[in-house]
Chain A
């Protein structure tokens, strides 16, 4: 007991440091075959890491100190050590990886295999393939439900979301959404799934337990990806054809504002009251302050920034 008491202050300090540590944004640059690492504390690029060809997807495993990058044209996953910002291995796949996501415990990496209509699962302990799960056509964005029961996958060319029961290892239902669903995300409490429909110019809303479509919200031309504010009350959607971000009130599900950002905005993630948007057209990241919902700065990155997926580590949970 006295031992614990003696070390309690140190433990508390360590925990505080852990929780207060500024995370980093990992931006894939398709045309430069690299990843720009942005310190979100000061919005500076602190490192540029060469990866495979045409990198697109990102998944951040903060407890493992690893970042996974999908290189769709070299058909591989680059594994970055986020402590040293160096690629420590490359997982070669017989497939075309696009979307990436991690299980909540970070033990499994899920990879959307664009052409083969399947999701590959990789053991993050040894980078070995575990299994493949058949889904719909051209799987893109994917995310695991907070209870670990389901993997939710946007099938771009099937116009639906596949709900995979992970224990059974198969699709248990498919929920029709708008035309060409691509990016998706869960609300911070895990209770609402948001799916962006590229051709539908809309956002589909699916409430837990992910059985049917709850609502559809119109946005601008060719929307791509979606992120939420930390409190889950505001939704942000990138519109690639309109060079803008739609700001949506998550409670009454209506658009409140449209913010002009760098051209052809693709990936979007939230961190510490700021929204980060990868601009494929202008080779930069636009930063929006979620308090004022105004563009506050632009950070030059590499050629054709995409940053598809949750590219900033979610705050410790």
Chain B
């Protein structure tokens, strides 16, 4: 009976529970775009316009609550991801945001997109770095689909879909 109660209590824990595994996971990707850094930064920092270059996203809705800016990404398969803008720095061309909740199998997800001039003349490099934890926040054994590997795979999929298309969109302009 006691065991059952524990199980029920565990099942009732909100998915956004603060606890997480001990090892943050990392996905970092970069791409070189033949375009002016200012032009690339303008597209990257457009918080409500990510659907213009990230293929899985059908639409983006921006909302502000107090001093916070949020965006809801509606994916082409119907799932949603709610994200909060943490900072947008025009001087360093750096955008930081976090996932509040959503369909990706991750927790405590924070990402930075950095735009830098180079390596060649007329070229710009975009670096996309994410730090996050797996879905499963309790001790091992870890259920399939909620482990580090699944979390990394999902985020890698988003980045690999996004950066080449960001390049394509910007170079077509």
- Chain A interface residues toward B at CB < 8 A: 30-31, 54, 56, 72-73, 96, 98, 114-116, 137-138, 157, 180, 199, 221-222, 240-241, 243, 263-264, 280-281, 304
CB distance from B98 to the nearest CB of A (A): 8
CB distance from B73 to the nearest CB of A (A): 21
Bound together, the chains give a CA A114 to CA B137 distance in angstroms of: 11
CB distance from A314 to the nearest CB of B (A): 25
Sample (11) of A-B pairs whose CB atoms are under 8 Å apart? A30-B24, A56-B22, A96-B22, A137-B19, A157-B18, A222-B110, A241-B96, A263-B112, A280-B26, A281-B112, A281-B129
CB of B24 within 8 A of CB of A138, answer no
CB distance from B147 to the nearest CB of A (A): 11
Chain B residues, Cβ within 8 Å of A114: 22, 139
CB of B19 within 8 A of CB of A138, answer yes
Q: Interface SS of chain A: helix, strand, loop or mixed? A: loop
Interface assignment of B64: CB less than 8 Å from any CB of chain A: no
Bound together, the chains give a CA A240 to CA B22 distance in angstroms of: 15
Bound together, the chains give a CA A121 to CA B48 distance in angstroms of: 52
Residue of B nearest to A112 (CB): B22
Bound together, the chains give a CA A243 to CA B19 distance in angstroms of: 23
CB of B96 within 8 A of CB of A116, answer no
Chain A residues, Cβ within 8 Å of B129: 263-264, 281
Bound together, the chains give a CA A56 to CA B18 distance in angstroms of: 20
Residue of A nearest to B114 (CB): A263
Interface assignment of B131: CB less than 8 Å from any CB of chain A: yes
CB distance from B128 to the nearest CB of A (A): 12
CB of A54 within 8 A of CB of B139, answer no
CB of B19 within 8 A of CB of A157, answer yes
CB of A116 within 8 A of CB of B86, answer no
Contacts A157-B18, A199-B18, A280-B131 given; does A115 touch B138 at CB 8 Å: yes
Bound together, the chains give a CA A54 to CA B86 distance in angstroms of: 28
Chain A residues, Cβ within 8 Å of B18: 157, 180, 199
Residue of A nearest to B96 (CB): A241
Which 7 pairs show the lowest CB-CB distances between chains A and B?
A115-B139, A72-B22, A54-B23, A114-B22, A98-B22, A157-B19, A304-B26
Bound together, the chains give a CA A199 to CA B26 distance in angstroms of: 20
Chain A residues, Cβ within 8 Å of B112: 243, 263, 281
Chain B residues, Cβ within 8 Å of A243: 112
> Among residues 19 to 33 in chain B, which have CB atoms less than 8 Å away from a CB atom of chain A?
19, 22-24, 26, 28
Q: State the interface size on chain B (CB cutoff 8 A).
A: 17
Chain B residues, Cβ within 8 Å of A221: 86-87, 96
CB distance from B127 to the nearest CB of A (A): 9
CB of A56 within 8 A of CB of B23, answer yes
Chain A residues, Cβ within 8 Å of B86: 221, 241
CB distance from B113 to the nearest CB of A (A): 12
Residue of B nearest to A159 (CB): B18
Bound together, the chains give a CA A72 to CA B96 distance in angstroms of: 28
**Given A54-B23, A96-B139, A115-B139, 20 further pairs, Cβ under 8 A:** A31-B26, A56-B23, A73-B23, A96-B22, A98-B22, A114-B139, A116-B139, A137-B19, A180-B18, A221-B87, A222-B110, A241-B110, A263-B112, A264-B129, A264-B131, A280-B24, A280-B131, A281-B28, A281-B131, A304-B24
Bound together, the chains give a CA A137 to CA B13 distance in angstroms of: 15
Chain A residues, Cβ within 8 Å of B139: 96, 114-116
> Among residues 100 to 124 in chain B, which have CB atoms less than 8 Å away from a CB atom of chain A?
110, 112
CB distance from A259 to the nearest CB of B (A): 14
Bound together, the chains give a CA A240 to CA B28 distance in angstroms of: 16
Residue of B nearest to A308 (CB): B22
Residue of B nearest to A304 (CB): B26
Bound together, the chains give a CA A180 to CA B24 distance in angstroms of: 15
Chain A residues, Cβ within 8 Å of B23: 30, 54, 56, 72-73
Bound together, the chains give a CA A222 to CA B131 distance in angstroms of: 12
CB distance from B69 to the nearest CB of A (A): 15
Residue of A nearest to B139 (CB): A115
CB distance from A108 to the nearest CB of B (A): 22
Bound together, the chains give a CA A30 to CA B21 distance in angstroms of: 14
Chain A residues, Cβ within 8 Å of B22: 54, 56, 72, 96, 98, 114
Bound together, the chains give a CA A30 to CA B22 distance in angstroms of: 11
Most chain A Cβ neighbours within 10 Å, of B19, B23, B131: B23
CB distance from A131 to the nearest CB of B (A): 21
Chain A residues, Cβ within 8 Å of B138: 115
Bound together, the chains give a CA A6 to CA B23 distance in angstroms of: 56
Residue of B nearest to A73 (CB): B23
